[in-house]
Structures are given as structure tokens and as C-alpha cells.
Amino acid sequence: MLTFETINELTLKVTCTGNDVLFTKAGSFIAGESPGGKNYKFEKILLGPQSNFAQAALGSLIRRATGENFPLMRVTMSGQSVTYYANYGQHVVVYKLGMGEIISVESENILAFTQDCKYDVRFIGVGIMSQKGLATTALTGNGSNAYVAVLSDGNPMVLSNLHNHNTISVDPDAVICWMSQCGYGDPQIKTDLSWRNLIGQHSGESYAFEWPGNQPITVLLQPSERQGGIQVSMD
């Protein structure tokens, strides 16, 4: 069994009490300790974390085609151990998913997850407007030990309309992940394109992810934007 916790906001601590498997961003391991000698090993995953070869191969193809591909490694643990993971000083946020609960997360923001998380890549159909908009990675709680650790470039912030039923609008390039009480909870895509974009007078905020007040959602954001996929202007 594995448990996740954060150390100083920047490091993930994983405690193992038996035989288990962990999936992490390749190269994120920074330290470990175990009684009686090292009892964990690392293996780069060439296709995907799915146990079925065909599903893993298909998932790898989809990730490469949609830009959701990221280097992943498997950590096989045999006995008690404590291991630590980090990524260039980014902040770490830990979630424990309930059975059937889904978190939709940008692949570059994934640090680690347990094998009780079902891994999938889904199309949400935004693609051309955002560098990371065409698809998103979905992790679904599929057991009692479904931990996920995500990365934030700076201190993250949380927006939720579970209690106030407000409409939430966010820049897709600042989104880390979202969680819904109703299925995947995919956002609506709102655009604000006009002739001003063609003459270089765009605001830089021409599209947004939006969830209406009747769609319960919790969104995690980072104070740093990815570079968008399209820049429209005329010199």
C-alpha cells in the first residue's frame, strides 16, 4: 500500500508498506530509504501504464498525436520504503480519488499516481486554439488507494462553484486540472475573435474554458501560462 504527502510544498513523499507499483514522471526521483538495502527499482515505460499491451500501444499513439505525451517510469517496490520525488522546484499538490472519481489533468503537470488510478487520454476538441487544448489526461479512482500528485509552476490557486454556483472562466494555458461531481466535467470553449486579432490588436485572452453555475466543478490553476498554440497578428 502507498500513501502520498508533500514535504515543504515542493517534494512528494511516497511511503510503501508492502509490494506495490508507482508511476511517476521519468527522472523525478530524488531520494529514498529502506531497511535492509534498497528494495525498489525504476523502469522507463515505453508505451503506457495500462497492463493491456494493445491499450498501452493505442494510448501511446494518442498521446503523441495530441501532445499529451510525457516520459513516464514505473517504480516497483518490494517491501517497506520511503521515496521522494520532485520536478525543478515546482509545487506539489496531492489528491486521493474516491472510487469512480475523475481528475482531468494536463500531462506536463502530472508528477505521480498509483496503480489504483485508471489512466486514459481523452479528446475535448479545442486543439487549434491552445497548445494543450486538443486532449487531456484523465485519471479515474479505481480502488481504495488512488493517489495523484500534480505539479504547479508557482503556488496554485483553487476555484470552485460547488457552493456559490458561479460561472467559472479560466485561461486554458493556466489550468492544471479540474474535478467534477458529474462525469468528466469538460468545459465549454468560449472565443472572442474579431477583426482586431487580424491587425495585431488582440488582447491575448481570445479564448477561455468556461463552466456554468449549474455545472459543479473545482479547478486548480497555476500562476504561469503555457505558450499558446496560435498567435494571430499583422505587422
Domain ranges, ordered by start, for the chain: 2-221
Task: Tell me which CATH code domain 2-221 carries.
Answer: 3.60.160.10
| pLDDT score for 45 | 83
| pLDDT score for 58 | 52
Closest CA to 208 of 221, 199, 198: 221
Tens digit of pLDDT for each residue in 33-55? 999 899 999 998 865 565 555 55
Rounded Cα gap, residues 55 and 85, in angstroms: 27
Q: Answer for the pair 160, 219: CB distance below 8 angstroms, yes or no.
A: yes
According to DSSP, the residues that pair with 92 across neighbouring strands are 151
Helix (H) or strand (E) holding 110: strand 110-114
| pLDDT score for 192 | 66
| pLDDT score for 121 | 81
The verdict on pTM exceeding 0.75 is yes
Closest CA to 3 of 143, 12, 11: 12
| pLDDT score for 46 | 66
Radius of gyration of the chain (CA): 19
| pLDDT score for 63 | 53
| Amino acid, res. 158 | V
With 0-12 CB in 10 A as exposed, 13-18 as middle and 19+ as buried, what is 183?
Answer: exposed
| pLDDT score for 38 | 95
Rounded Cα gap, residues 204 and 196, in angstroms: 11
Closest CA to 161 of 208, 217, 220: 217
| pLDDT score for 228 | 53
Report, as ranges of residue numbers, the positions in the chain whose pLDDT lies below 70.
46-70, 125-134, 192-206, 227-235
